[in-house]
A and B are shown apart, each in its own frame.
Chain A
Amino acid sequence: MHELSVVSSIVDVVTESLAAYPGARVVEVRLKVGALASVVRESLEFCYEIATKETRLEGSRLEVKVLPVVIHCAVCNQDAELEGVQSFRCPKCDEPSYDLRQGRELEIDSIEIDEDEETA
């Protein structure tokens, strides 16, 4: 349960990037979270409200996009999306693969902000 630490980092990163937009209000913070990132969407959302209190993110929404695991299959010589995280095998040929191409992401993709015309 390290979602609170994760959300605190989100607040830091977003606050830092808001320096370039002095009068802006944050509407939404959009995350990309890999299926193997070991954070739980519900816990993130729960912690988000607490951690954003009295920050420039207060009142904003958190949008979490979960990215499935993608492995590269050396036999088929192509990337393949996995349905879950219980078996790391090519869905086409069943070959095991440790060549991960997606699934560990834990990043802030973008933020949506409202700016006053004068400060924009």
Chain B
Amino acid sequence: MTTRIVELRRGILKKNDELAAELRTRYTAAGALVLNLVSSPGTGKTEFLQHTLTDLLARGKRAAALVGDLETDNDARRLAASGAPVRQINTHGICHLDAEMIGKHLEGWEGVSLDQLDYLFIENVGNLVCPSSYDLGEKIRVALLSVTEGEDKPLKYPTLFNSADAAVITKMDIAEPCGFDRELALKNINEIRPGIRIFETSAKTGAGMDEWVEYLVKARA
């Protein structure tokens, strides 16, 4: 009997990373800016995204969305009210989207092809842990946090906030009754991800949405 050490040095999620790299090449070639929206359940991703899509369409931009949930197509139906093409991805128990699911749902999407899109939004499954490990080939990863969740969320979930390119605080219209400490929240986000661009928004009143949409327009320019 001989004992041998075999060096592998292989990424465990290498298959996902390779698929994500292929997707990234496709997005770039098609000229579509792809964003991955990640938050806890109940942060208001869908409401925020619906407003974002509506605003982009009003500016003559072409935008579409893939939305991930364990079950139901409720979110896809809500988002479709914006007028943008939307496709639901049901993960049936899986707690995150992966690159393979995105690739599959880009195929055979009636009326949508990547090269006719300016923006593709991917609304991830509501979860602040697992989606952070799965690259979807996105250009911009957005971490969302609502004023009802507590200012220390970035400290509790540092992996996601650290890997984000932009942060969005939602439901700012109810910040005061919730006793939301804005300064502390901004400090905590910056502590985990120094220098990140932070947007303070309310999809309900529209506050902060113009600044966000301007950012999207510039990010694609």
Point out residues on A near B: beta carbons under 8 Å.
1-2, 5-6, 9-10, 12-14, 17, 21, 24, 27, 31, 36-39, 85-89, 96-98, 100, 104, 106-117, 120
Chain A nearest CB: distance from B25 CB in Å?
Answer: 22
| A38: contacting residue among B3, B12, B133, CB under 8 A | B133
**Structural contact, A86 and B6, CB atoms closer than 8 A:** no
- Closest-by-CB residue of B relative to A29 is B8
Which residues of B sit under 8 angstroms from A96, Cβ to Cβ?
Answer: 190-191, 194-195
Are B159's CB and A38's CB within 8 A?
yes
Would you call B8 and A108 a contact (CB within 8 A)?
A: yes
Nearest-CB residue, chain B, relative to A10: B12
B 173-221 contacts with A by CB, 8 A:
190-196
Query: Hey, which chain A residues are within 8 Å of B3, CB to CB?
Result: 27, 112-115
Q: Cβ of B163 and Cβ of A104 under 8 Å apart? A: yes
> Is B162 interfacial (CB-CB < 8 Å)?
yes
Let me know if B8 and A110 touch, CB within 8 A.
yes
From A14, A38, A89, A107, contact of B11 by CB (8 A): A107
Please list the residues of chain B having a beta carbon within 8 angstroms of any beta carbon in chain A: 1-15, 94-96, 129-130, 132-133, 155, 158-160, 162-163, 190-196
Given contacts A1-B95, A39-B133, A88-B193, contact A109 B8 (CB under 8 A): yes
Kindly state the separation between the CA atoms of A1 and B12 in the bound complex, as whole angstroms: 16
Question: Are the CB atoms of B12 and A117 closer together than 8 Å?
Answer: no
22 contacts between A and B (CB under 8 A): A2-B95, A2-B129, A5-B94, A6-B13, A9-B14, A13-B8, A14-B8, A27-B3, A37-B133, A39-B133, A85-B159, A86-B192, A96-B191, A98-B195, A106-B13, A108-B8, A110-B5, A111-B5, A114-B1, A114-B3, A115-B3, A117-B2
Chain B residues, CB < 8 A from A5: 94
Cβ contact within 8 Å between A9 and B12: yes
